[in-house]
Structure 1
Amino acid sequence: MKILILQNQGFLNSQGGTEKMASFYANSFSKLGHEVVIATNDPKDGKPIFSLDQKVRLVNLFHEGMDTIELEQPYTYKGRNPFRWIYFKAKKKGQKWRNASLMRKRGLKNRDEVFLHNLQSRSKVWKPFFEQEKPDIILSMSIATLLEITYSDAVAFPIINTVHGRPDYDYTDILWYRSEQEMKLLKESYSKLDAVQVFFDNYKAFLPDNFKGLARAIPNPIPQMDDLEIVDHLKTKERYRIVHIGSLINAGKQQELAIQAFSELAEQFPNWDLWLWGEGVDKAYLEERIASLKLKDRVFLAGFTDKPMEKLQEADIFVFPSKYEGFGLALGEAMTVGLPAIGLKDCSGVNELIQHEKSGFLAADGQEFKAYLGMLMGDRQLRDRLGKEAHEQMKAYKDSLVIAQWEDFMDMVVKDHQKT
């Protein structure tokens, strides 16, 4: 089978979850004997961060003649430092002025028109590419990719879209601003799909009503840890670690909630520290919050790590206070090494992986989050019991089991497409 894996932008130079999964799928399918091509349409030069099997071919369809307009993305500073506030306020005004000037020069009135202009330009490269490659199946790695490949023309080859969050996050403005035009176009793209892969069965209820294809729940794979290598919670240590791994984007990942909870417990548990691994736009803001709580020697923004499993094995508790998630791969990785985890009960994905009071805790709010954190910090037997159960639960996400589900699903979609 010839498989095209598409990610319109972001695959090059990025270590995000989507890029990680695209590389995993490509390598796994290639090793099973399939011909695999990863295609992107990215204006950046670069290379994949995650290694690819030597048989996997990577193609970037973007060319300098493509007429696209890149607007600057203003950042709203949320901290209390007056000098930084003035700096970011001035910077934001400059970005808005440059964006407005660029749109005037191109005869465009607003961001909606820029969005449509770029979509029309970028979508033109895909149909000739498909006709040249003649794939058996196409895997779209995002709704933005799906929109781009289906905007100009119907695609003659079967398409499966991989949904990395709850489906309605992709075509509504629940999480962030989207114009009526953008939401309409995103929702319409579902009508051109043969199939959708979601992470959990209950996500199917959030697919748009115009989707008429096949839907299958297939989770992300989670790296497996040997039973003898998981965290030993009964071992006495001089210092204990609470760990979080994720992008420093407080609106979604809510690291501030974990920092606040820890600050209220720090005096009671003087031999515990909080380590936050990751980079992001809110790093400076979180640094200020840590300093204001006088926790600079107890809470650490440790930056990016390319060895997350090692960092997790050094930990004792995993905190994951996200407001929303699709799957929560970092959470799954923490659980497989035997860490008890705390998340929020209303967070999609998190409330699927953590079984409350069996493999961790699901908190209703910040106060419950703090209470559960304190319980775990003070009880190594509880950490041991929940951590071992978390490790056992993650065995259902072994990569070979996940790929077997994918093979079966792709065969089904190809056969169904051939009937029509």
Structure 2
Amino acid sequence: MKNMLKKILIVQHQNFINGSGGTEKICCFLANELLSLGYEVEIATNENSIGQPVFHLDSKIKITNIYSDDINQKEIKPYVNYHGKNPFKWIKFKVKKKLAKLSNKKLMLSMGGFDNVYKFNLHQRSKLWNQFILSSKPDLIITMTIGSLLEITYEKEFNIPIVNSVNGRPDYDYTDQLWYRSKIDMKFLKESYKHLSGIQILFNSYKDFLPGTFNGVCKVIPNPVPQLNEVINHSQSKDRYRIINMASLVLDCKQQDLALKVFAEIAEEYPNWDLFFWGEGNGLNKLEELIEDYKLQNRVFLKGFTETPLEELKSSDIFIFPSKYEGFPLALTEAMSVGLPSLGFESCSGVNELIKHNKTGFLAKNTEEMKNYLEKLMIDSKLRQDFGINAQKDMSVYTSEYVKGEWNQMIKEVLG
């Protein structure tokens, strides 16, 4: 039975337009499924960019970018150090850095410090969100990040239930353990949880990482995983074999450089194996340099974004995923769903929940172990087949219908 028509507003304040990451993929999945359940769905963002969603969205779903040049923002100018050898570029970067520092110093003096600049900018953006939400009149708001939650609730109280979808381990969203966040940013992010009626997390163990400021409904809902009838046939002899990594090329998180290092140490011993990286990101240049340093231009390939990830995974033999941290990594689950044995680090959140050590793949303590496990898989096609079959079975519980049903149940509970 269809739901009585209610309007759901999904907010991803940044990176939705042209974004190809996991959050954007789940945002589009959620919007499509909620529409199929009979809800009216709108997605809202606030981005100074032009483009379209990368992933499929039903034409009935409205997309609104509330960005306006009229909103006054005090810009703290970024600056970077130049690490190249060109003396002219070094001088250019030096001048830019001095000018940026001077501009920032004047701004801080006029505004009374960083915290006041932060609060001023957040107030301006929140005011814009408030105007939009009042005109949109949703029955429920789903935020795709805690940053989005803060944007719409700062200095505001809505009589509209809000649910947050957590796409990683919850504490990654409000602490500085993964990257720099100012003290005031962490304080406000943590406080914003008070506005939530509910929160969706990816694993039961993630409940331990919610802040004390949250007191709403908590429900464990995994991400959906493609369901395939066939599993890769690892007994088939090939001229060349593929190790594959599929993720954004963001080395401080995804650590593709470690996968490259591991492969480089054994590549000569296994001349019919190649390494493929699928994805885009700011780590591209560094990986290109490393490939050249290791002299592996004909063995390691940077392939960019693919619109057919499952097809690329099906033509591969091993999935290597050396991430430092994850939530519920979609690429890993897709690799497991087609029957690929996987390698990851046992310290990596999400990865250590999905890969069952010595059953669906291997969880390594360090790169030396990862290298040994990789070799083990490369030389043993039966082990690859056994792990692949087990991996596909493990993914069979994460159907789209199950995920959709769990979300619908949570929404009904929150709406009362």
What TM-score do the two structures reach when normalised by structure 1?
A: 0.92
Task: Name 2:214's counterpart in structure 1.
Answer: 211
Q: State how far apart, in whole Å, the 1-side matches of 2:312 and 2:97 are.
A: 38
Name segments (4+ residues, structure 1) moved above 6 Å.
none
How far residue 87 of structure 1 moved from its aligned partner, in angstroms, is 4.8
Structure-2 separation of matches of 1:33 and 1:84:
60
Q: Which residue of the other structure, out of 167, 170, 182, is the alignment partner of 2:170?
A: 167
The equivalent of 2:100 in structure 1 is 98
Supply the distance in 2 between the matched residues of 1:23 and 1:164 (Cα, whole angstroms).
13
The partner residue of 1:137 within 115, 137, 140 is 140
Give 1:116 shift. Answer: 2.4
Give the Cα separation in 2 of the matches to 1:89 and 1:412: 60
Q: CA RMSD in A?
A: 2.1
What is the match of residue 287 of structure 1? 288
1:253–1:320: 8 Å Cα contact kept in structure 2? yes
What is the SS of the residue equivalent to 2:269? Answer: coil
Q: In structure 2, which of residues 39, 46, 57 is the aligned counterpart of residue 52 of structure 1? A: 57
* Contact 1:72 1:95 (8 Å CA) reproduced: no
What number of residue pairs does the alignment pair up? 410
Alpha-carbon contact 1:103-1:109 (below 8 Å) kept: no
Q: Distance in 2 between matches of 1:102 and 1:34?
A: 46
Question: What is the CA distance between 1:94 and its match in structure 2?
Answer: 2.2
Q: Deviations over 1:47-87 (max 9, x none)?
A: 22222112111112122211124555556778xxx537995
The question of whether the paired residues in 2 share the 8 Å contact of 1:7 and 1:39 is answered with yes
Q: Are positions 1:11 and 2:16 aligned together?
A: yes
Which secondary structure does the structure 1 equivalent of 2:397 belong to? Answer: helix
Is the 8 Å Cα contact of residues 4 and 38 (structure 1) preserved in structure 2? yes
Change beyond 3 A, Cα 1:322–1:160? same
Q: How does 1:289-308 map to 2 (within 5 A)?
A: 289-308=290-309
TM-score between both structures, scaled by the size of structure 2? 0.93
Structure 1 unmatched ranges of 5 or more: 416-420
Q: 1:16 to 1:72 in 2, by over 3 A?
A: farther
Question: Is 1:179 matched with 2:157?
Answer: no
The match for 2:363 is 362
Residue of structure 2 equivalent to 1:252: 253
Residue identity (%): 47
SS at match of 2:142: strand
User: CA–CA distance in 2 between the matches of 1:70 and 1:293?
Assistant: 41
Give the Cα–Cα distance (whole angstroms) in 2 for the partners of residues 312 and 322 of structure 1. Answer: 18
Change (3 A) 1:109 1:258: farther
**Residue 225 (structure 2) pairs with residue 222 (structure 1):** yes
Deviations 1:186-243 (A, max 9, x none): 100011111111100110110001111111111111122222xx32111100000000
CA offsets 1:354-394 (integer angstroms, 9 cap, x no match)? 11111111111111111110000000000000011111111
Q: 1:4 is paired with a residue of what secondary structure?
A: strand
| Conserved? CA contact 2:79–2:100, under 8 Å | no
| Cα deviation, residue 91, structure 1 | 3.7
